[in-house]
Chain A
């Protein structure tokens, strides 16, 4: 069965390159460039950082352990949360599942889902994990043992986080299976998504509370004042609740060339991984029932099934005209999708986590040996960069694929008398308003935490407002003028050539804006940041004019875009 899945995978890769080969090869090439770039940056960053730490006689152990703990905690959280989001739909809504479940090898549906979840988690591991391990081996030596040991541990971490996510989804499904009643169809993707969302919110809250509650002084200076090296107990105590702590301790052991101890930890991690796999194996016996339960009732072939007819309700509800209908359609499509909502919870969780980090830095800034003003300026500038990063992430996942996703409904959008440019404006207004609300609220909360001046806050809001609208307009224009004709799946569309180009440009743009804002906060000389804002406004207007002019003659819903045959 594994061989069949692998053959299916290689066939899929060949199929992907069969059409529009050159743009796809360029995409893959650029993607590899990005991967190599990030991996190189991670390698040199880790090497430089740990070389500095290595020279710190007193704090070498504690600092290293703290970095390992924080790294594995965040990596574990990211892997687990993304596995929950992708796992829920891979398990119960995967396209290929129908065929597998209908076959005599139905039990392997869970295996296929597991591969899918693992596949989405290993990317982070390859790009960040491997160069970091190589850099650490370069600093501390003993690479012949430490590199394979750390790699094995990282692979096991991927297996555990992905497996744990599956186990939790299956546990939720089992609970709902027994809770379902004649009138309440509890076992439904919607309720699974709600439970998963609550779990992710709780996890984020726990993580934020832990981060906020940490005190640098007690973390690093918990031993006797006369000691020549700092005691690691403070760090161990702060993180001992998290399962990722065993990986951090294992890395410290590898760093100290305590091979036996390191392999004891790896043994513990392996045991945990085997335990998780065993639970999944046990669930494979129950999976068919759960899968069938989720599919139940999601289908209405009959007509007039109920005698109770609710009063008719018009749509759009709040806004009138075609633009209003298009706007409310976007609201419905985005907020009623369990998958999209979970992605929003995930990305928002990261944003909240970053806010928690701000509080932690603000609280502990006095201990950094630099002036508080500089720290606040740095954090606030990072906040601007973070806002752009999260807006870009949202835009990449939701805005850029918006026209491509609607192409399946071209028979409605492309055949109505509404011009494509009006559809463009309705989408732009929906996404820009949503992101502005989100970005400004989070921005104000963070500004309040940091206690920055009114002028700095005003400038911050002006800057991020312009950048948010700019990024949204850029993503939408790209998506409208270069719609993906091969897939309407937002996750696939995001990784296309326009998606890659968008990521490059929007992050560079956000970085430039944040840097200029940092200069402004430090010097209170606003000329550069003002010019950036004015320049951005001009660019946004230009972008909208170009896109809307092109949309007068170009129909993104036309079958002409990328068509190769007809009935």
Chain B
């Protein structure tokens, strides 16, 4: 579904992404982890069309994102790290607005909005203005907005920032269900390593714009020469060259 080949992106003197290649197949959850400034968000923003690649290609469902932006955007759902929306728009209007931009018919929107609101028990606050929502509730609405048009590829930048533990659990269940039952490919950039460990089928570790390791969690453990019980955090620290004495 998502194929990135030799992708590079530079901002002035800073090489944000350096020759990165990866693939996310149908039904896979690919979590990309790495320190701040590693290039994770740049990959997501380029795939969704907010940035243009300097080198390499990114294809979604076989179509190049630069050559066919409208077609690729139509099948992508994007959840940003900063879920800002127009302060005077209600949550319900916001969901319908995004749905309309993605061409979801009105009746289908009405049905899906009702169903989606129940995922996070947002019924009752959907008619309030966006400016009144907490960070967590804004995040929930942005997650629901990305799902309205039933995307084939979900791009998620920091999915659980500001969410309470129950909501985090719901997001995890939701993503796993979408991948398993509906074959949605999910690409997640996150710093919440426990979240990645729980749901990822594949993990990529980035540092200074380069993909330094990728594979399943077990494959990464092996690469880091760690035991079976080692957490993703241990793997991450080992592979990024950082180590801390055990508590």
**CB atoms of B123 and A304 under 8 A apart:** yes
Q: CB-nearest residue of chain B relative to A558?
A: B50
**Total number of B residues with any Cβ neighbor in A under 8 Å:** 67
CA distance in complex: A326, B97 (Å): 8
Query: How far in angstroms is the closest Cβ of chain B from A494?
Result: 19
Total cross-chain contacts (CB, 8 A): 162
B129 to A: closest C-beta gap in Å: 8
Q: A412-B98, A565-B11 are in contact. Are A332 and B124 (CB under 8 A)?
A: no
CB of A560, distance to nearest CB on chain B (Å): 6
Inter-chain contacts of A95 with B (CB < 8 A): none
Please name all residues of chain A whose beta carbon is closer than 8 Å to the beta carbon of B84 when the two chains form the complex: 408-409, 411
Question: A549 on the interface (CB 8 Å rule)?
Answer: no
Classify the interface of chain B: helix, strand, loop or mixed. mixed
Binding stretch for chain B, among A57-65, A317-325, A441-449: A317-325
A418-B52 contact in complex given A333-B88, A411-B78, A566-B16, C-beta closer than 8 Å: no
Among B70, B125, B145: residue with most chain A CB under 10 A: B125
Q: Using Cβ atoms and an 8 Å threshold, which residues of chain A touch B70?
A: 417, 419
With contact pairs A309-B124, A558-B51, A559-B45 given, residues A300 and B133 touching in the complex (Cβ less than 8 Å): yes
Decide: A303 near B122, CB < 8 A? Known: A313-B92, A329-B97, A558-B51: yes
Complex contacts, B85 vs chain A, CB 8 Å: 409, 412
Q: Does B89 contact A (CB under 8 A)?
A: yes
Within 8 Å by CB of A566, from B41, B73, B106, lies B41
A209 contacts B by Cβ under 8 Å: no
Contact indicator B100/A299 (Cβ below 8 Å): no
Distance of B10 from chain A, by nearest CB (Å)? 9
A563–B14 alpha-carbon span in the complex (Å): 12
Note all chain A residues with C-beta closer than 8 A to B145.
412
Out of B76, B100, B121, name the residue touching A303 (CB < 8 Å): B121
Q: Is A301 an interface residue (CB 8 A)?
A: yes
Interface status of B101 (Cβ within 8 A of chain A): yes
- Say yes or no: is B56 at the interface (Cβ < 8 Å to chain A): no
Contact check, A567 vs B36: say whether CB atoms are below 8 A apart: yes
Beyond the given A300-B132, A326-B101, A333-B89, could you list 15 further A-B residue pairs with CB under 8 A, ordered by the A residue number?
Answer: A300-B137, A320-B106, A336-B88, A411-B78, A411-B83, A416-B101, A417-B74, A417-B101, A558-B50, A558-B52, A563-B51, A564-B12, A566-B45, A567-B38, A567-B39
Please give the residue numbers on chain A whose beta carbons come within 8 Å of chain B beta carbons, in ascending order: 297-310, 312-316, 320-322, 324-326, 329, 332-333, 336-337, 408-412, 414-419, 555, 557-560, 563-567
Interface residues of B (CB under 8 A from A): 9, 11-12, 14, 16-17, 36-42, 45, 48-52, 69-71, 73-74, 76, 78, 80, 82-89, 92-93, 96-98, 100-103, 106, 109-110, 113-114, 120-125, 127-129, 131-134, 136-137, 140, 142, 145
